[in-house]
Each structure stands twice: as structure tokens, then as C-alpha cells.
A and B are shown apart, each in its own frame.
Chain A
Amino acid sequence: MSVQTEPAGTAKAISIRSLNKFYGAVHALKDLSIEVEAGEFLVLLGPSGCGKSTALRMIAGLESISSGALLIGDQDVTEVLPKYRDIAMVFQSYALYPHKTVAENIGFPLKVAKTPPDEMDKAVRAAADQVELGELLERYPGQLSGGQRQRVALARAIIRRPSVFLMDEPLSNLDAKLRGNMRAELKHMQGELGITTIYVTHDQIEAMTLAHRVAIMKDGVLQQLGTPKEVYSDPATLFVAGFMGSPPMNFVQGAIKDGTFNASGVNTPTPGAPDVPHATLGFRPEDCAIAAPGQGLLDAEVFTVEMTGDQVLVTLRLDGAPLVVKMPKEFEIDAGAMASITLDPAHLYFFDAESEARLRF
């Protein structure tokens, strides 16, 4: 099979065309279609069980494709074995070979490709230097820290200059500080190498910071595909709105009738909106502010006040549902006090609570 028609290392576009995956009666991935551009950093984001890892494993060739087509470059690889797809993958567990040294681990892709030893040594050294592992080449994975193992896995992925990188939650086993550093390094490295990358995570901050485009998934269905800014400021569904952002968007349950959104304690005009019996009003914590009672959109009792350093998070309770407001760090208010939330009506989002679709009017 002669699949590699272009020289290795050329970034290739990936065309995902209505991929489906069935495990018996379980429909794990439903009609996923994404056109990934050459050199793009695409993040598949979603809670566990949303099908993102299944999608990645199907692209890798580790899971069969129940229906649909997958193209890498202009090559249809739907039925092609993983080793002919010219991809490298970083696993969540790193999947380092415990019986091989760091150098042997990094050099493994070249070894199985029967690269001459001196050429291999040179490449291993170069890849190890790129991830700052030069000193540890003779160690075994068991003797390395989590961050170092992560680097070995990265070096093994980049040594062959594949046309596609796949990463399955590569940072989730690292502690928070290291994760931040590695995130920055990953982004830098991807930009430098320009290799098309598909990255799976459940962490929306990773997705926002790394991605050129984010694909948000839920229950095997693609919810929204767009730049981090688009999915954040213009969410297509209730799920996307609630998933992106930390703290997440505030929601108030109510109904839209005669051009007005009504909930207990909330009445806000929604000119031109159709009647929706179960509607959800959403607004982001940073888009609103606390004011004296009676002055804003709604009045509620302050539940807690959390000082995080650069800001103050004020949580209010409306009918038992928490509403979080981000205030500047100088802001002071006592728990138990009554307060009002004010915000620009332009920053209100409305959703149909049943279909979860965004209501635009």
C-alpha cells in the first residue's frame, strides 16, 4: 500500500465527514463533520463520555469507523491501518515503554522505520533537546517525574515529523502549575512545527488557551465549532454557554410571553421574541455588577463573598439557584445583605430550556 505520497512532515488538512461510531446498540459518536485546516490546532472539548476520545481514536485508526469518511490530506484513510496514517499520538498515560530508556523510547518510531543508527542518534538528541530532556537520555521512564515523562512522550511524537498530531488529554496527569507551563510550551511548539493538531480535553481553559478552533461535544453530538472567542461570546446552545467560562454562566429559569421574559423576581423585555413556555436567561459573571436593591435586573440575597486575589466573587441566591457576580477586588459586601444585579441588556442570552437551543431575536 503506498499511502505516503507527500514527504513526511508536511502539515495536512483533515477532513472528518459524518463519522459515526456504534458500540452494539450504543451510538457513541453521531455524524461528526469537521474540516480541519492544515497546521490548525483544533481542540475537541466536552465532559467525559461525550465521544471526544472515541472521535480521536477513530482518527488515529485505533477504533474502526462505523460509517462516514476520514481524509488526511487528500488521502481517504477510513480503512487504513494506523501505521500508514502518518500520525503521532500522545496518550493520557503517555504510554512510554517501561523497559526502554528515554533515548530508546524517543527513537522507537525511527527504529521501526529502520533508520540508520547514526542518523537516529542525531534525531533523538535533537528531539530531546527540543523538549529539554538532553540529560536524561539513559534513564528509564520509571525514574522520571510526571512532567519529564510527558516530555518524553512529546519528543517521541515529534521525532518523526508526522503530518498530524493527536493528543488525548496529555496534561491531565500533571499538577496545576506544571500544566500551565506545559500548555504554553505545547502551544509554542505546535506553532513552530506547524503540524496539524487535534487535542482532546475536558478542561475548557486548556481549550480556550490552546485552540485555533474549539469543537464542543456532548453525548456524541458536536454542539458548536468555532474560535475560542466565538464559542465564548456567542454560544450556540445552553450546554456550550454553561460549559465555557469559569465561573460558568448564570442561569435563571422562566418563560417568555408577549415579548417579556418572566421569572420570579425578574421581568425583562425581549422585544420580538416568540412565546417560549420554558426559557432560560443567561448572563456571565463578568458582564454584570452588584448595585443597591431595586436598581437592577433582579434582587437577591448575598449567599457568600469569595476573595480570589484579583477579584471578588459574590454569590447570590435566587430561588435556591446560585448567581455569581465578578466584582473588582476592592468591592465589599456582607453575606445576608440584599443586593441587585445590574447589566447591559446586550449581554443577556436566552435559550429554549427544552431544546437547549439559543434564542436569537
Chain B
Amino acid sequence: MSTPIRKPGIFESPRIGEMSRATKVVLYAFLLIWSLIVLFPIYWLIITSFKDAADVNQGPFFIPWVDFQPSLHAWKELFVTDYEDTLRAYLNSIIISLSATALSVLIGSMAAYALSRVEYAPNLITILFFVFLLAMTGLAVGLYGVDWRLAAAVAVALFFFLARAVGNLYQVRLKNGDILFWIISQRILAPIVVVVPIYMMFQSVKLLDTHIAIIITYAVVNMPIVVWLMYDFFNSIPRDLEESAQLDGATMIATFREIVLPLSRTGLAATTLLVMILSWNEYLLALFLSTSKAQTMPILVAAMNAGERGILWWTMSVAIIVMIIPVVVLAVVLQKYISKGLLVGAVKG
């Protein structure tokens, strides 16, 4: 296909190759300055990790071997003296963010695929009845000490006989859009609002300070983002392709493996990365759900901010550097997919 030749609009930039020399010089100068501004904090972070307490406290010095003598003491402290704490937090962060990401991307993208391909029509009355009976069962068990088996049996019986009858009488059907909005709306709520109930829930099942609690919480918190992004992405894959594959004799699994999965790779990569970064950097929920064993890197870094010895800028810098590295590596590796996935989106035949 040939690209039609046309003049760029006022707000469209011409290609770099087509620019005049002067424009290029100005452009690159600007980009250079901007890069310096953006990258300077990271440079500062790196040199701080090689500074002594005295160097930090004396004020901002930026040039190693001239302004100050670099030393490895902060690195030693974190990786030799306290290596157990560092390593545990690091491993925790890796295990938790990988598992939570895998879980939420897997379940979330399945939900998104179903929402984009299957038309659901759940009955609102039935759902409300279900929630009502659930609450009543909880109340009966919690407040009045009714045996939970009895309460559950009554609730199930009531649900099947009454809810179906009532539901059939009043047909208020929800649509896929309603389900999608409900899922996304879970993300509108600020996490701080639900952090105490979540804490108490995990306390009651004795899962506080475990990986599993944080993994589940992260997976649930990130699920709406996965569903939202992947729903849009799956919708951009023409349905014709799957129908054609079906007619060509492919099973549903083969259709998914051969057609849908390869075409949604860019979307999955972008979503995975986004969720991974969110889980990796998450602080608030981890603060509540972990005390020592399951502590993640953000908690470790924050702890250095509030020790008895004052703010330990140097060890904090080291911890932040090792925390940033995996994210940077991941972003570089997946960059090709991300730019495609987030900017192009649609699959064109």
C-alpha cells in the first residue's frame, strides 16, 4: 500500500529527515536540555548512593572525586550487613508483583474477552436478591449465632425458589456495558477507603503478613485496569476473523491460540507492564497487609525515612536504584509492544 503524499498540518510535526539544519539544531538542543532535566534526579540518586553521611549533610555536591570521595559504604550496608532484610524485601516484591500481575492479567483478560464476545443479560432482581440473602446470612450467623450451615441452606433454598420466581416476574436485564462499568467502578474508589475492611478480612482468615494476602489484593485492585484495557483491545480485533477460523474448522481453543492471542500480544504486553509497575510500586496496601515477613521494597525504602538514625539518604538511594532497575529493563524489552499497543491499538487487516 502506498502512503498518499500530503503536506503536514500546522500541528503535525514533519519528519526529522525533512527538517532544515537550523530547525534540527534547535530541536536537538531542546531535547538535550529536557533530557538533562528529566535524568538529573536519577543522576543525583546514583551519586548519593556513593556518598557518606557527611557528604550528604554538607549540601549538594554533584561531581564525584572532585566534590566528594565516593564510597561503597551504603551498598555494603544494604548488601552485606543487612543483606537478609534487603534480599527478603526484594524477593517479596518480585514474587508478589509477578504473581499478582499473572493472576490479574489472566483472569482480567478472560473476563474482558468474554465481555467483548458474549452478550450477557443477567437479571438485576436476581442479583439484588442474591446480595440481600448473602447479607442476611451474614447477619444471622454473625449477630444471632445461627449455625452457618443452616443459614446457608435456607438462603440457597430461598434463592432458588423465590428469586427465580420474582426474577422471572420483573425482567430488568443488565447489559455488558453495565457489567463493564461495575468492574471499572471498583477502581474509582480510593484504596484508603477499603484498606481497613481488607485488613480485618485477612486478619480473620489469619493471612496477614503473607504473600498470598498481598497477591490477592493486588490482583483484585488491578483487575479493573486489565479488564478495561483488554476489553478495548479485544473489541478492536474484528469478529470476522474468529468466525472465519471457526468455519475453517478450528476449535475454540485453536481459534484463541492461533488468532486471538497473537493479535492481542501488544495489548497484553502493555497491560502486563502497566499492572506489573503498579504492583511493584504499590505502598499503601502493602503497608497495612505486611509487618515483616511479607514486606516489599517500597516499605523497606519508606522505613529508611523514619529510622532512629534520621533519614538515611545514602541507603535509601541504593534501595531505590535496585528498585528502579527491573522496571527500566522491562520497559526497554517491551518497548516495541508498548508503543504499538498503547498508541496504535487497532489491528488492521
The one of B243, B248, B348 in contact with A108, judged by C-beta atoms closer than 8 angstroms, is B248
Stretch at the interface among B131-139, B220-228, B258-266: B258-266
Q: With A and B bound together, what is the CA distance between A82 and B240 in angstroms?
A: 13
Is residue A142 contacting chain B, with contact meaning CB distance below 8 A?
yes
Contact A95 B263 (CB under 8 A): no
Contacts of A143 in B (CB 8 A): 1
B247 touches A141 (CB 8 A): no
Q: Assess the B248–A62 pair: CB atoms within 8 A.
A: no
Bound complex: CA of A93 vs CA of B290, how far in Å? 54
**Measured between C-beta atoms, what is the minimum distance from B64 to chain A in Å?**
49
Report how far A85 CA is from B247 CA in the complex, Å. Answer: 8
Contact A108 B245 (CB under 8 A): yes
Contact present for A97 and B348 (CB under 8 Å): no
Cα A202 to Cα B292 with chains together (Å) = 71
Residue pair A94, B247 in contact (C-beta under 8 Å): no
- Please indicate the chain A residues that have their CB under 8 angstroms from the CB of B81 in the complex: none
Residue interface bits B249-264, CB-to-A below 8 A is 1, else 0: 1110010001100110
What is the number of contacts between chain A and chain B, taking CB atoms within 8 Å? Answer: 73
- Take A97-B259, A98-B263, A142-B348 as given contacts and tell me if A60 and B249 are in contact as well, using a CB distance cutoff of 8 Å: no
CA A113 to CA B258, docked complex, whole Å: 13
Whether B245 pairs with A93 at a CB distance below 8 angstroms is no
Known: A96-B349, A99-B262. A142 touches B1 (CB 8 A): yes
* Cα-based distance from A24 to B263 in the complex (angstroms): 33
With the chains together, A99 CA to B250 CA distance in Å? 17
B168 interfacial by beta-carbon distance below 8 Å: no
Q: Does A87 contact B (CB under 8 A)?
A: yes
Quick check: A109 and B240 within 8 Å, CB to CB? Answer: no
Contact residues of B between 318 and 349, Cβ < 8 Å to A? 347-349
Whether, in the assembled complex, A200 has its beta carbon less than 8 Å from a beta carbon of chain B, the answer is no
Q: Is A12 an interface residue (CB 8 A)?
A: no
A-side interface residues, number (CB < 8 Å): 30
Q: Which residue of A lies closest to B250 (CB)?
A: A112
Q: B246 on the interface (CB 8 Å rule)?
A: yes
Taking CB atoms, residues of chain A closer than 8 Å to B246 are 61-62, 81-83
Does B244 sit at the interface, judged by CB under 8 A? yes
Cβ B251 vs Cβ A99 within 8 A: no
B14 at the interface (CB under 8 A from A): no
* A88–B248 CB distance below 8 A: yes
- Interface contact B254-A95, CB-CB below 8 Å: no
B191, CB-defined interface residue at 8 Å = no
A61 to B244, CA, bound (A): 11
In the complex, whether A160 has a CB less than 8 A from a CB of chain B is yes
Contact in complex: B349, A93 (CB < 8 Å):
yes
Per-residue B-contact encoding for A82-111, CB less than 8 Å = 1, 0 else: 110101110101111111000000001101
Q: What bracket does the count of chain B residues touching chain A fall in?
A: 20 to 34
Contact check, A112 vs B244: say whether CB atoms are below 8 A apart: no
Q: Which residues from B are CB-within-8-Å of A113? A: 249
* Chain A, Cβ-Cβ closest to B238: A93
Inter-chain contact A98/B251, CB cutoff 8 Å: no
Question: Which residues in A have their C-beta under 8 angstroms from that of B250?
Answer: 83, 108, 112
Query: Which chain A residues lie closer than 8 Å to B349 at the CB level?
Result: 93-96, 98, 141-142, 149
Q: Does A21 contact B (CB under 8 A)?
A: no
CB of B234 to closest CB in A, whole Å: 15
Inter-chain contact B238/A95, CB cutoff 8 Å: yes
Shortest distance from the beta carbon of A322 to any chain B beta carbon, whole Å: 38
Contact B263 A112 (CB under 8 A): no
Q: Does B241 contact A (CB under 8 A)?
A: yes
Query: Which residues does chain B contribute within 8 Å of A91, judged by CB atoms?
Result: 240, 243-244
The verdict on A213 contacting chain B, using a C-beta distance below 8 Å, is no
* A156 located at the interface, meaning its Cβ lies under 8 Å from any Cβ of chain B in the complex: yes
Chain A residues with Cβ below 8 Å from B248 are 83, 88, 108-109, 112, 156, 160
Nearest CB to that of A87 among chain B residues?
B247
On chain A, the residues within 8 Å of B245 by CB distance are 97, 108, 112
Q: Which residues of B contact A82 (CB under 8 A)?
A: 243, 246-247
A88 and B247 form a contact (CB under 8 A): yes
Shortest distance from the beta carbon of B348 to any chain A beta carbon, whole Å: 7
For the complex of A and B, list the 9 residue pairs with the smallest distance between their C-beta atoms, beginning with the closest.
A95-B240, A95-B244, A109-B248, A112-B250, A83-B249, A99-B262, A82-B246, A91-B240, A89-B247
19 A-B contact pairs sorted by A residue (CB < 8 Å): A60-B243, A61-B247, A62-B247, A82-B246, A83-B247, A89-B244, A91-B243, A94-B349, A97-B245, A97-B258, A97-B259, A98-B347, A98-B348, A98-B349, A99-B262, A142-B349, A145-B1, A156-B248, A160-B248
With A82-B247, A89-B247, A156-B248 given, name 5 new contacts (CB 8 A).
Answer: A60-B243, A62-B243, A82-B246, A112-B254, A142-B1
